[in-house]
Amino acid sequence: MSINLENIAASFNERMDQHKYRIMICGGTGCIANGSMEVYEKFQEVIAAKGMSVSVQLDKHESDVVMSCSGCQGFCQRGPLVTIYPEGIFYTKVKASDVEEIVEETLVKGNIVERLLVVDAETQEHIKHVHEVPFYTRQNRIVLENCGHIDARDIEDYIAKGGYVQAKRAVLEMTDEEICQKVLDSGLKGRGGAGFPTGLKWTFARKAVSEKKYIICNGDEGDPGAFMDRSLMEGNPHAVLEGMIIAAMGIGASEGHVYVRTEYPLAVERIKLAADEARRMGFLGDNIFGSGKHFDIFIMEGAGAFVCGEETALMSSIEGKRGMPNPKPPFPANKGLFGYSTTINNVETLASVPIVLAEGSTYGQLGTENARGTKTFALTGNVVNTGLIEVPFGATLRQIIDDIGGGVVDDDGTVKPSNFKAVQIGGPSGGCLTPEHIDLPLDYAGVQKVGAIIGSGGLVVMNHQTCMVQIARFFMQFTQNESCGKCVVCREGTKQMLDLLDDIIEGRADENTIPLLEELAYAVQDGALCGLGKTAPNPVISTLRYFRDEYEDHVFNKHCAAGRCKALANYVINPERCKKCSLCMRTCPNGAISGSREEGYRIDPAKCIKCGACQAACKFGAIEVK
């Protein structure tokens, strides 16, 4: 039985055309947390009350309005997001209480609810349509394109956008060698961190002699501040599955596993549904696309261990063991899951595969010499527009932070270029970039040259109120906490590094501390068993490289310029501001403040535990940190 994708797409579009409006509500985790599901339900209720007919995507029939729920649209800062098609009217920060007005004004009367529109920061103009929003227009959304425009729960929606055409071609028309070559030619590199050429990885697996072969999709995205893969699995799960089918044909795998971290329940639900749907359509299981070939995909939920993002640890976890990495060699392509040849690709990589495989794809022309195509980033921290973005490799921080991100915000809420202190790129394995790198084209080699990595794409923007030692400590604590505990240098080394950073932050450091920390950082880098261990010291090495004076200020002057290190803070009462109300004295949990209404008050530094309670209590801003 052959499967006609064009017919499915045509009938889907035909049915869609029967609806007057399609309301797309963002169902990404961020928007759901802000109440987008209540908005979704409210719409159904209000529309029905107005006497219009409404249908939800999963049971399609002729109606005035069809409601759809997309995956993450990336503009998380402004969620919940509601887009009304066919025009593409884009409402942001929509609450259930706004729905009545939207339905009445926009659906019934054809008017715009202006207060829910995005305002252009430069022109102060209201922007009506989703395709005009600078946050989107300044990006290059290719891999993320369908995220936000299709209903992730509806396989036909994906097919209507050209989905599964490449998988079908790979299954029915291409040889394994052709598939691998095509991916190799596209220049696609692994998006999970290391940037290894995907086509080469597949070729190793294709040539490996193994009774059985596996393809694994690594959806154990665990970097704090990164949610690219989650968004893809939630918003366009079929693209991931399609990529896996193509990969399976390229390497000769008969079984695929998607390993999703358990902290992403929505992604788990969506990708499970997607696999069921694909199986129902005959894209998975026996005789896929009528080819007589067998390939099926199983979804496994992780159980809360960052280290399982490391491929050998991930395989241990699928085998029902503690997720502890194993030495390489043997490489997974030769001896992987249950001892068989295994290929592990990251979610974004697999979602990019159908794009690069398409005839006439221009994807490979984007980007730079050593990094073709686009990269998604999770933009967070002290930036106006936080969210999920996609830009071509070679884009600069200036483009990302200023043009798309809307600039760096200070703690007092002002936005100006001089606020920019650094970005942390690549999560706990990454490093930092500073104002001197603002025009550096971001690609694998370029970023590596300055001591950081692209990684999976976490970008944390920091202003001058950020203490870099604290940032290093934050990541160190993370990796220390997530170390599997197998090899000595990572288990003991990260613990000791954290201890040394605590010494610095808490004022116990001496002239030996920084050299000891630095020596240990390089030892962990050289000696650790797995990739995660080897890169765990990167945040320390990188901050030492660019902010050594800040470390030294902590160590020798017992001073934190950002004012973040409590133990180095010296609380004093400014007598000019003090109204002698005695509130601070009464608030202090340790009796460190003494004095009288007549003479005023003072803080005894020996007794002060630097908790900041007095400062928080003072109504006159009289307590200062020196």
Partner 1 sequence: MENNTIIVDHIEVALEGERNLLEVIRKVNIELPTFCYQPELSIYGACRMCIVEVEQNGRKGLMPACSTPPVPGMVITTNTAQIRKLRKITVELMLANHNMECTTCSRGDDCKLRQVANDLGIEKVRYRNIVQPAEIDDSSAAVVRDSSKCIKCGNCVRVCREIQSVGVLDFAYRGSDTVITVGFGHGLGESACIGCGQCLKVCPVGALTPNFQIDPVWAAISDETKVTTAAIAPAVRVAVGEAFGFQPGEVLNGKIATALRMLGFDRVYDTVFAADETILEEGTEFLGRVTGGGVLPQFTSCCPGWVKFVEQFYPEFIPNLSSCKSPQQMLGSTVKDVLVTKEGLKRENIVNVSIMPCTGKKMEAKRPEFAVDGNPDVDYVITSTELIRMIKQAGINFAALEPSEFDMPFGEGTGAGVIFGASGGVMEAALRFAANTLGYEPKCEQLRGEDGIRSADVTFGDITVRAAVVSGLANARQLMEDIKAGKAQYDIVEVMACPGGCVNGGGQPLHEHHLDTVARRTKGLFENDVTLAHSSEENKQLVAMFEEHFGKIGGHKSHELLHTTYVDRSKNI
Partner 2 sequence: MSDNFAKVDAIVKKYDRNPSKLIGILQEAQEVFGYLPEEEMTYLANQLGISPARIFGVATFYAHFTLSPKGKYLIRICDGTACHVKKSSDIIAALFKELGLNEKKLTSDDGLFTIELVACLGACGLAPVMVINEKVHGQMTPDQALALVREIKASEGGN
Is residue 320 involved in binding partner 2 (CB under 8 A)? yes
Q: Quick one: 110 or 515, whose CB is closer to partner 1?
A: 515
Q: Quick one: 168 or 257, whose CB is closer to partner 2?
A: 257
Is 67 strand, coil or helix? Answer: strand
At 236, the amino acid letter reads: N
Degrees (nearest 5) of the Cα angle 94, 62, 242? 70
Cite the DSSP H helix spans in 173-251. Answer: 176-186, 198-207, 228-235, 237-251
Is residue 512 involved in binding partner 1 (CB under 8 A)? yes
Q: Quick one: 286 or 499, whose CB is closer to partner 1?
A: 499
Q: Quick one: 146 or 317, whose CB is closer to partner 2?
A: 317
By rule CB under 8 A, what string of x and - marks binding of each residue 560-589 to partner 1?
------------------------------
Candidate segments 127-135, 362-370, 409-417, 606-614, binder of partner 2 by CB under 8 A:
606-614
Candidate segments 67-75, 293-301, 511-519, 610-618, binder of partner 1 by CB under 8 A:
511-519
DSSP 367-380: B-SSSBSEEEEEEE
Q: What is the DSSP letter of 316?
A: H
- With CB under 8 A as the contact rule, the residue among 338, 526, 579, 596 that binds partner 2 is 338
How close are the terminal C-alpha atoms of the chain, in Å? 77
| Dist CA 407 CA 416 (whole Å) | 7
How far apart are CB 572 and partner 2 at their closest, in Å? Answer: 18
- With CB under 8 A as the contact rule, the residue among 194, 612, 620, 625 that binds partner 2 is 612
Q: Are 441 and 396 in contact (CB under 8 A)?
A: yes
At 117, the amino acid letter reads: L
User: How is residue 25 written in tokens?
Assistant: 């509500």
Q: Is 619 buried (19+), middle (13-18) or exposed (0-12) by CB count in 10 A?
A: exposed
- With CB under 8 A as the contact rule, the residue among 113, 200, 523, 567 that binds partner 1 is 523
Is residue 519 involved in binding partner 1 (CB under 8 A)? yes
* Integer CA distances (angstroms), 516 to 498, 519, 526, 539, in order: 12, 5, 15, 16
Q: Among residues 564, 568, 616, which one has the least CA distance to residue 589?
A: 616
User: How is residue 255 written in tokens?
Assistant: 């079984």
- With CB under 8 A as the contact rule, the residue among 590, 596, 597, 605 that binds partner 2 is 590
At 185, the amino acid letter reads: D
Is residue 613 involved in binding partner 2 (CB under 8 A)? yes
Cite the DSSP H helix spans in 506-568. Answer: 513-527, 531-535, 538-546, 548-557
Q: Which of residues 328-367 bind partner 1 (CB under 8 A)?
A: 329
- With CB under 8 A as the contact rule, the residue among 44, 181, 262, 477 that binds partner 2 is 262
Is residue 321 involved in binding partner 2 (CB under 8 A)? yes
Q: What is the DSSP letter of 408?
A: B
> Which of the choices partner 1, partner 2, none does residue 605 contact, using the CB cut-off of 5 to 8 A by kind?
none
Number of residues that bind partner 2 (CB under 8 A): 27
Candidate segments 97-105, 166-174, 320-328, 417-425, binder of partner 2 by CB under 8 A:
320-328
Q: Quick one: 57 or 483, whose CB is closer to partner 2?
A: 483
Q: Quick one: 49 or 616, whose CB is closer to partner 2?
A: 616
- With CB under 8 A as the contact rule, the residue among 323, 325, 406, 457 that binds partner 2 is 323
With the CA atoms of 579, 583, 587 and 588 taken in that order, what torsion angle do they form, in degrees rounded to the nearest 10? 40
Q: Which of residues 476-495 bind partner 2 (CB under 8 A)?
A: 484
Q: Which of residues 440-499 bind partner 1 (CB under 8 A)?
A: 480-489, 491-496, 499
- With CB under 8 A as the contact rule, the residue among 11, 326, 361, 582 that binds partner 1 is 326
Q: Which of residues 268-307 bind partner 2 (CB under 8 A)?
A: 300-305
| Dist CA 341 CA 210 (whole Å) | 6
Per-residue H/E/C for 113-170: CHHHCEECCCCCCEECEHHHCHHHHCCCCCCCCCCCCCCCCCHHHHHHCCCCHHHHHH
How far apart are CB 427 and partner 1 at their closest, in Å? Answer: 17
> Which of the choices partner 1, partner 2, none does residue 526 contact, using the CB cut-off of 5 to 8 A by kind?
partner 1
The contact set with partner 1 (CB under 8 A) reads 305, 307, 322, 324, 326-327, 329, 480-489, 491-496, 499, 512, 516, 519-520, 523, 526-529
The contact set with partner 2 (CB under 8 A) reads 262, 300-305, 317-324, 338, 484, 587, 589-590, 609, 611-614, 616-617
